Amino acid sequence: MQAYLENQVLIYFVFNVFILCMLALDLGVFHRKSHVISVRESLIWTGVWIALALLFNILIYYRYEFLYPGKGTEAALQYLTGYLIEKSLSIDNVFVFLLLFTFFKVPSEYQHRVLFWGIIGALLFRAVFIALGAVLIARFHWIFYFFGALLIFTGIKMALGKDRTINPEKNPVLRLFRKIMPVTAEYHGPRFFIREDSLLKATP
């Protein structure tokens, strides 16, 4: 059992290191200089990431087939199903990105950089929330009912507010941020923060 757990930890560690390396290559090497990404370049990168995901699916198949003969196909199908569902759900995010880019008037050459760091932030926050949720569930079993009620409430709210337009200007997080941190009226290259008149300010 100890050997199995150590093996699982090693696999998760290697997987996360690989993902971080790919993200570092994406921003630090291939997109080091800000530029407008063409449709052709976008399609190529989409193909690269999909190919990596499918390659990982093949690795899952062979690993499970080696450890648990006859279980490789089931494990690979479970991964592929989850991947396709997440891929289809992510289409909604594209429209949100476009809305935010339009609202903040993000120049085309900086959109990849903004999106990249936005995804990194989302991954970090997701990891924090998952860890906190796991701790809460381990200590308080009744928290399951709270999370269940929260999901039902959120689902109803989304269903009833389906036709409502999203207005970033009214977002409470954005309004709170602007109260705490001064924001410049213009962009200053690819920089997120600048020092102006000895005052730290955020760019749009």
Instruction: Provide the angle, in degrees to the nearest 10, between the axes of the packed helices 143-160 and 111-139.
Output: 140
CB 115 within 8 Å of CB 96: no
Exposure string for 127-139, b = 16+ CB within 10 A, e = fewer? eeeeeeeeeeeee
Mean pLDDT of 67-81: 90
| Separation of alpha carbons 83 and 130, rounded Å | 19
CB atoms within 10 A of CB 61: 19
pLDDT score at 54: 93
pLDDT at 77 over 90: yes
| Separation of alpha carbons 202 and 182, rounded Å | 6
Pick 190 or 57 by higher pLDDT: 57
Give the H or E element holding residue 129: helix 111-139
Tokens of 69: 């003969």
* 30-39, 109-118, 173-182: least confidently modelled range: 30-39
Q: Whole-number mean pLDDT of the chain?
A: 83
Residue type, 66: F
pLDDT score at 83: 92
Q: Is 196 helix (H, G, I), strand (E, B) or coil?
A: strand
CB 99 within 8 Å of CB 89: no
